[in-house]
Amino acid sequence: MLIRVINPNTSAPMTAAIGAAAARVAAPGTRIDCVSPAMGPASIEGHYDEAIATVGLLEEIRAGELLGAAGHVVACFGDPGLDAAREIARAPVIGVAEAAMHLATLVATGFSVVTTLERTCIITEHLVHNYGFTRQCRAIRACEIAVLELEHPGSGAYERIEDECRRALREDRSGAIVLGCAGMAELRDRLQAALGVPVVEGVTAAVKLLEGLAALGLATSRHGDYAAPLAKPYAGLMARFAPGGSS
């Protein structure tokens, strides 16, 4: 089966790192195609970045559907455009934040999210509420690391993340850590070995969940609000995104 992992930011090094992490956990019959949109922000660190990145993401969802993808991963921790993607895709679409949070609740009664910049914490907080994990999410912690710093080996990002995880385990009563950025995918194994608690990372979690859904014959419901968007004209630059009403 083909799983398309879409990094909605346009950083090529981050896309390569996300693809490598996804490929490492994929089952023998799974092919990972990790892509990023041709247009959009270099990193996603706020509401505006998210809103703009969503358009390129949806374009990649459409491209993946044409390639016959059996599943799509939205590989940004804000899960931007997730509901919209589900309206236009026949194959299941999973966001990395929802994947990681769901798995964390299976291995601990409470988890802490350790993310990049403090300004992104409110995006995670909204997701926690939307997904119904307010009782399990004990804290959302920022390391004040810019997303693209994660790709620079000399930035000290790993050490700052490990320090914040240790503070979380001391202070939050959490049994598990959720990594709050797709750019942290390659740090998971090292962090879990260092911390000795489950460290859940969304890219790898989403790949395994998509494989599970496929094995069980489960796909997004087309009944109700995830039905195809209604056909209508879109004006101006958005004209090419107008839904045909047939997907």
Nearer to ligand 2AL, 37 or 78 (CB): 78
Q: Binder to ligand 2AL among 34, 76, 94, 143 (CB under 6 A)?
A: 76
In the complex, least distance from residue 29 CB atom to ligand 2AL, rounded to whole angstroms: 27
Nearer to ligand 2AL, 77 or 214 (CB): 77
In the complex, least distance from residue 223 CB atom to ligand 2AL, rounded to whole angstroms: 30
Q: Binder to ligand 2AL among 73, 82, 127, 147 (CB under 6 A)?
A: 147
- Sketch the per residue contact string, 171 through 210, with ligand 2AL: x for CB under 6 A, - otherwise: ---------xxxx---------------------------
CA 140/CA 137 separation, integer angstroms = 8
Q: Which long-range contacts (CB under 8 A, 24 or more apart) does 225-233 make?
A: 225/83, 225/87, 226/83, 226/86, 226/87, 227/87, 228/87, 228/88, 229/84, 229/87, 229/88
In the complex, least distance from residue 73 CB atom to ligand 2AL, rounded to whole angstroms: 11
In the complex, least distance from residue 5 CB atom to ligand 2AL, rounded to whole angstroms: 12
Q: Which long-range contacts (CB under 8 A, 24 or more apart) does 194-197 make?
A: 194/162, 195/162, 195/165, 195/166, 195/169, 197/108, 197/169
In the complex, least distance from residue 36 CB atom to ligand 2AL, rounded to whole angstroms: 10
CA 54/CA 192 separation, integer angstroms = 31
Using H for helix, E for strand and C for coil, what is the string for 44-90? CCCHHHHHHHHHHHHHHHHHHHHCCCCEEEECCCCCCCHHHHHHHCC
Of 212, 216, 7, 199, give the one whose Cα is nearest residue 104.
199
CA atoms within 13 A on the CB side of 93: 26
Q: Candidates 41-49, 82-90, 205-213, 225-233 — which segment interacts with ligand 2AL by CB under 6 A?
A: 41-49
In the complex, least distance from residue 44 CB atom to ligand 2AL, rounded to whole angstroms: 4
Nearer to ligand 2AL, 144 or 163 (CB): 144
CA 52/CA 49 separation, integer angstroms = 5
Q: Binder to ligand 2AL among 10, 105, 115, 204 (CB under 6 A)?
A: 115
Nearer to ligand 2AL, 90 or 167 (CB): 167
Is residue 45 close enough to count as binding ligand 2AL by CB under 6 A?
yes
Q: Quick check: 71 and 4 in contact, CB under 8 A?
A: yes
Is residue 77 close enough to count as binding ligand 2AL by CB under 6 A?
yes
CA 206/CA 102 separation, integer angstroms = 10
Give residues in contact with ligand 2AL (CB under 6 A). Answer: 9, 43-45, 76-78, 115-116, 120, 147, 180-183
